[in-house]
Amino acid sequence: MPELPSKIEDYALIGDCLTAALVSRNGSIDWLCWPCFDSDACFAALLGTSDNGRWLIAPTEKVSAVRRRYRGDTLILETTFECQDGKVTLIDFMPPRGEASDIVRLVHGDAGTVRMQMELVLRFSSGSNVPWVRRLDDGNGTILAVAGPDMAVLRTPVEFRGKDLTTVAEFEVKAGETVPFTLTYDASHREVPEPIDPLRALEDTEKFWSEWAAQTTCVGEYQHIVQRSLITLKALTYAPTGGIVAAPTTSLPEKIGGARNWDYRYCWIRDATFTLLALINNGHTTEARAWHSWLLRSVAGSPGDMQIMYSITGQRRLLEWEAKWLPGYERSRPVRFGNAAHAQLQLDVYGELMDTFHQARKAEVELDEYTWGVECQLLDHVESVWDRPDAGIWEARGLGEHYVFSKVMCWVAFDRGIKSAEQFGLKGPVARWTDIRDEIHRDICTRGYDAENNTFVMAYGQPWLDASLVLLPSLGFIQPHDPRTKGTIEAVEKHLMRDGFLLRHDPRQPRMGELEPIEGAFLACTLWLADAYALMGNLKRAHQLFERVVKIANDVGLVAEQYDPTERRQTGNFPQALTHIALITTATNLHNAKHPTQQPNKQRSQT
């Protein structure tokens, strides 16, 4: 009988800075795209059943307790199973060695004797392609699985056999014993990869992550939260290019059973400033420079052709299609690969890009000599398009609107251009930019502000709100103690708050005939609201919102895109980079607000 996937929050992440896998509490790897984040999956049980590919290692007897943790400040996952006859720990990791990608699984006996099982179900092409599997005559217990361009090699001393198009095994582990399994990927036209030493790989992997984590400069009461989020962000980084994916998954639903299921295995320009500051402000300047270089390469060309997202290599065409053979996570269909939103006009990305470059200069990150020229071209383009309707930050599919946040980010684009020129001696038509900046500000305050209710609104001519409005004070568009700030925050709380978490959409707004329930709360938005309260001086409320999000993180500190407060479940793609970046930002802001004389950590500057 095929097994269904676990709850989203029951997964942990392992990765090698090329791709990543999700491991459930029951010892099953249910998601892995090989060889890269945006490749086809070879384990796709997450979006269907175990028949769509997974790798299970677990006790055969009843488990009385399961405990998980990451080993120190690493991405080495340790899952301990307690049974009647003993206790074992499953150690899962992916060595970041930059060559053929590996998953290493070590079963270590802690006490007594435990009977274990292994079930390897390889299904290439995202659950649709059963490979040709054969045993290699090398005397080392090796099987080779090939399908089209893909090859995987399993090595283990355990005796295994084929059963119903899967590879299975049963074995015992006694106290003090360690039984290794290594699964290695490479292209099928290449020679079979050489074996690696699993125990040496464990040492190398622990050293890699520990040395990287030791560079973190964050201090204070939230250090552990920040560190785990930074490690997660590093794990979502594609090392060859510096691109950072929004999540390692696709089509995990915003609402269980719904159709709002999108592919997040790409890099969003919108996340650029938040990402850069999270890295820079915590000591990881190498990654910040790599992220900046990826940005510059990806947006190269005509500013009018700039997209809102790109692939990990900077590819532009992210064609969207449906995998009809996959039933979807808990029957949430369609299952989508690719993302059609890449072709939308979303004006806010220009402001994010300009803000990113400005913040990098302030942090003394060495920028490419061509960066300022690109920025000047971007501002020339924004001058001609800022007053157009667009798809907005939430990527609405349909007719565009004059979204307030999009206009504000156009204001940010000119504001940061002006400040970069003035503060760093860069040449540009500052007087013209100042006139345009002021014109945009007047336009927003006239057409995007509801004076009767003392609140900015989602879009011109509409009474609805959206969660992006809480970012206006942190962007410097309005000051934290401006009466309009107070009115906007109060209105957003009144209409968008559900069970202590902030929705991104106004539930009063007609949803163009949609019949599905309202999506879960967007976790980054709740943290943005906390940041606004911190700026306004209400630290008690800011801390309350921050702790609320922290408490729904799973047992290993990971959070998804959204949270369903009614079902008390994480929803959306997982783990979500933007949520973890927001955790880092809010933790930093709260620390600095509580310790203004220390200032060991930095935060997003308004200027």
User: Residue 411 and residue 418: Cα distance in Å, rounded?
Assistant: 11
Contact 178, 166 (CB under 8 A): no
The answer on pLDDT for 47 being more than 50 is yes
Residue 59 is which amino acid?
P
Please tell me the predicted confidence (pLDDT) of residue 462.
93
Please tell me the predicted confidence (pLDDT) of residue 597.
63
User: Residue 438 and residue 430: Cα distance in Å, rounded?
Assistant: 12
Cα three-residue angle 384-276-287, rounded to 5 degrees: 130
Structure letter (DSSP) for residue 21 = E
CA distances from 485 to 92, 452, 582, 603 (A): 47, 14, 20, 20
Comparing 138 with 142, the larger pLDDT belongs to 142
Over pLDDT 90: what percentage of the chain?
81
**Burial environment of residue 70 by CB neighbours within 10 A (0 to 12, 13 to 18, 19 or more):** buried
The three-state (H, E, C) secondary structure of 170-192, written as one string: EEEEECCCEEEEEEEEEECCCCC
- pLDDT tens profile 153-165: 999 999 999 999 9
CA distances from 164 to 122, 157, 161, 536, 550 (A): 12, 22, 10, 62, 43
| Cβ-proximal residues to 355 (8 Å cutoff; 6+ apart), any chain | 272, 273, 412, 413, 416, 475
Contact 309, 245 (CB under 8 A): no
Calculate the CA 526 to chain-centre distance: 16
Per-residue pLDDT, averaged over 512-540, amounts to 85
Comparing 171 with 273, the larger pLDDT belongs to 171
Which regions of the chain carry the CATH code 2.70.98.40? Answer: 8-203
Per-residue pLDDT, averaged over 257-279, amounts to 90
3-state secondary structure of 454: coil
Neighbours of 381 (CB within 10 A): 17
Contact 601, 534 (CB under 8 A): no
Cα three-residue angle 221-225-228, rounded to 5 degrees: 140
560-585 as b/e, with b when 16 or more CB fall inside 10 Å? bbbbbeeeebbbbbbbbbbbbbbbbb
| Cβ-proximal residues to 551 (8 Å cutoff; 6+ apart), any chain | none
Q: Read off the pTM.
A: 0.95
Upstream peptide bond of 600 is cis (omega within 30 degrees of 0): no
CATH for 215-594 is: 1.50.10.10
3-state secondary structure of 503: coil
Please tell me the predicted confidence (pLDDT) of residue 367.
83
User: Residue 199 and residue 236: Cα distance in Å, rounded?
Assistant: 25
The answer on pLDDT for 271 being more than 50 is yes
- pLDDT tens profile 71-80: 999 999 999 9
Please tell me the predicted confidence (pLDDT) of residue 515.
42
Residue 550 is which amino acid?
V
Per-residue pLDDT, averaged over 535-549, amounts to 97
- pLDDT tens profile 88-108: 999 999 999 877 899 999 999
Question: Please, what is the end-to-end C-alpha distance for the chain in angstroms?
Answer: 59
Nearest CA-CA partner of 304 in 385, 217, 411: 385
Q: Which residue, chain included where needed, has tokens 């300022």? A: 372
* Phi, psi (deg, nearest 5) at residue 149: -80, -5
Cα three-residue angle 193-199-201, rounded to 5 degrees: 55
CA distances from 259 to 252, 328, 498 (A): 10, 10, 22
Please tell me the predicted confidence (pLDDT) of residue 321.
96
Which regions of the chain carry the CATH code 1.50.10.10? Answer: 215-594
User: Residue 166 and residue 54: Cα distance in Å, rounded?
Assistant: 10
| Cβ-proximal residues to 445 (8 Å cutoff; 6+ apart), any chain | none
Contact 432, 379 (CB under 8 A): no
CATH for 8-203 is: 2.70.98.40
Nearest CA-CA partner of 158 in 202, 193, 119: 119
Please tell me the predicted confidence (pLDDT) of residue 99.
78
Contact 355, 416 (CB under 8 A): yes
Neighbours of 218 (CB within 10 A): 22
The answer on pLDDT for 517 being more than 50 is no
Instruction: Give the CB-side neighbour count of residue 412, counting CA atoms within 13 A.
Output: 32
The answer on pLDDT for 397 being more than 80 is no
* Phi, psi (deg, nearest 5) at residue 92: -115, 135
Neighbours of 142 (CB within 10 A): 18
Helix/strand/coil percentages in the chain, nearest 5: 35, 25, 40
Contact 445, 387 (CB under 8 A): no
Retrieve residue 99's tokens.
């060559």
- pLDDT tens profile 316-325: 999 999 999 9
Neighbours of 345 (CB within 10 A): 17
Q: What is the signed CA dihedral for 406, 266, 321, 152, rounded to 10 degrees?
A: -170
Mean pLDDT of the chain: 93
User: Residue 59 and residue 439: Cα distance in Å, rounded?
Assistant: 67
The answer on pLDDT for 550 being more than 60 is yes
Nearest CA-CA partner of 279 in 266, 268, 290, 264: 290
Contact 262, 271 (CB under 8 A): no
* Phi, psi (deg, nearest 5) at residue 69: -165, 160
Alpha helices (H) along 180-271 = 198-213, 223-235
Comparing 132 with 306, the larger pLDDT belongs to 132
3-state secondary structure of 146: strand
